[in-house]
Chain A
Amino acid sequence: MAAALAVSMAACSSGNNGGNASPAASGGSSSAPASASASSSAAPSEKPLDKITVTFFNGVAGEKDLNTNETTIGKMLEDQTGVNFKIEHLVGDLNTKIGTMIASDQYPDVMIPDAAIEEVLKAGAFIPLDDLIEQYGPNIKRVYGPYFERMRADYGGKIYFLPFGPQVGEYAADPNINQGAFWVQRRVLKEAGYPKIKTLDEYVKLVEDFVAKHKDENLTGMLTLTHDWRFFATSNPPMHLAGFPNDGNVMVDIATNEAKTYAGSENEKRWLKTLNDLNGKNLFDKASFVDNYDQYIAKLTSHKVVGFFDYGWQIGNAMNVLKDAARKDQTQDDFVYFPLPVTFDGTHDQYLDPPGWTSNRGAGITKSAKDPARIIQYWDALLTDENQVLKSWGVKGETYEIDDKGRFYRTAEQIAKLDDAFNEKFGFKTYDWDWPQYGTSSTLADGNALAPGFQPEVFQMSLTEGDKTILGKYGVQTYAQMFDKPEDRPWFPAWSIPKEQGSPQQIWETKKDDLLKKYYAKLVLAKPADFDGVWADYMKEFGKLDTAGYEKWYTEQIKKVVEVAK
């Protein structure tokens, strides 16, 4: 089945036709090699392969350095392919590390240069993968085929690296809210009788009323997170409130594909004015602008904060603490936060990520690699349905079960077993990202979700009584159902459209961030009467930035992407 798919995909992918991005022009050159490689993909388990170790530098700090064959999954993949990866994660500054690699022209075999990818490409460190994929990558073609044109268009006509997360099969929504939302304590909704909260005004009123009713509790109405690079948690809401998903610094009109910044816009003014009003009423935590991330998280667990905006992935630790407490003691459920789809006008929200394609991140093979073919073969092997199940669900009977309808699920014991240490040993952690793989929201051919967390059966098991109650009150099964369905945006996320380091676009962003950091505090903490005056100062300084140029550049890029995606 996989091979058949690969052949059909090959028709619209292509060989080496340079920078020409038109699918029509590229169609003719390639159909024979596809079938040849499709047959070779079945081979690996038959002929014994000599074992090799490939060095792999991951520019994203985080997990443990290891050899993949020390993990259960990695060992099984080594048995199939004979390849072991020795992974090193970044520890210090990315640009420093990449800079020294480029200057000395010595690279690990495989690299994820993360934010420094433009520099790595400019240095010619990645080898083009087109021919290798043609020869050894039937599964790569099947999975990445729909994106090949885009990948080539982005980087001068060749494929130099494989981004993560191509969508495969039906779109499976994340039932939890890992992305942005306006959060509020559950007790607030309970006390108000579970009202539908759609607009910012409704949300603010809800918070205000609650604090007013609980004067003696010394509550904070709202706070925001501003620490260091996490400042976007305070500056992004205008975009979401206007009904757009997180495209970074721009809101992209879905009809005209025009990109507009929201910094310096009326939307931003409205958001800041709202915070300013809250502050005027003593409902906003002034320390928001000086607190560090740890202090912020501590406040979220203190039961004293009624509401805030943030991205789910950024508040995981605080949420876990609150949920743990609620699991042990029902009454603590009041303090767990609930996500709400708040917008300015209450009509249409786009908080949930549409299927995305982060085009400027990925793994590539460097010119230092001794055996690129083996690496491609490994990646290709990883992209079979079977191995995708292995890397995300694990081994049947051990880390998941299949019911008589063919649905994957996990038993309570299995769930309990999957702690950090186990995930590390088994390889779930190593393989959860950073490899060519199906996108998180992919669905397998048999209808099961690729990500266990996205499988309704698994999600339902994780719910407490309190969770079920509140979801029931709103007539939904998952948190995601509180939100509107994401619309299709081929460029999403726009922030991943490649920008050179030190380019005018990047400088604009750095300067804009500095300006926002300087003025947001002034605007929010100003006396309500002074707000307009401070806003005028802000606009004056903002006017010095070449925002029109930035928007123009972005619009052009987005149009290009849309063109390629057609």
Chain B
Amino acid sequence: MILILLRKSAMLLLSAVILLLLTFWFHVRSNDLGDQDLFLRFLIYLNRILRLDFGFSAQSSRPVSGEFLEYGAATAELCLAAMIPSLAAGFFLGCFAALHKDRWLDSAITNSSIMFSSIPVFWIAQIFIALLAVRVDWIPSNGRISLLYSTEQITGFILVDTLLRDGFGDSFLNALTHFILPVLSLSILPTTEMIRIVRNSLYSVMQQNYIKAAFSRGWSSWYIIYRHGLRNAMPSILAQCGSVLFLTFTSVIIVENVYNWPGVGTWIIEAIRSGDVNVVNAYLVLVGMLFVVLNISLEFAADLSIIYLNHPGRGRSTPS
């Protein structure tokens, strides 16, 4: 286990160095450094990044890292609110599809997930706005909370903040209604991806003889899926979950821009438009690092599940 941890940290370090070299190249290109020693500049750059000092934003003249935290909280809240239900729903629908493979339930789930995954996010978001926010005017479609309520920050998560300040009052409900459309449009892609992953991994396990033997004992399907199916499919499901995260993070930029959500997505698009190199650089470093860390920790989780579920992949249970 320590060996796996070391191997993963080595991978983490390597990816981090490559990432930093790339962003340093961007840094060199965007700032005129004259004929200074590149290695020395890199060390200085590294030092600044380790202190999380990305300079000041050209637009708002505030420190970039502070701004990132503020916008990042909004994005993280949106991502979590979209991902937790979509992971759960995708998981169960995937189990259903694997259990009823090649029957109508499976083809209904699979075909509709293919259909939903081929709808572009920016398009469905605009359709939602046109139908639900403009035509019938049920749900707000702009920002995180109505301007009538104060937006003083406590944790940065608006639902938590309003809850802490007013309890289950108007402001909380208002924030909640602001969540509906962005979460809806953001959760489509991760759900379909999760369905695909769970269905394929679980189905290949459900073909095995020990599953058929379990079925022949007359046990219920969900018990068999829980006891034997998921136990054997878990490592491959966990290892593929990275793509769900990836999908969410890429589509959240689009969703934030469509719904004018004050998160990292709108922030970075605004910065690119106005040529704010410090912000772009900070974004590249921080989001890149987040991705590397998440991906590698997911792989680590998959390895851990191999160990703790006693998979034949581990050395001990191979025939001696």
A and B found bound together: no
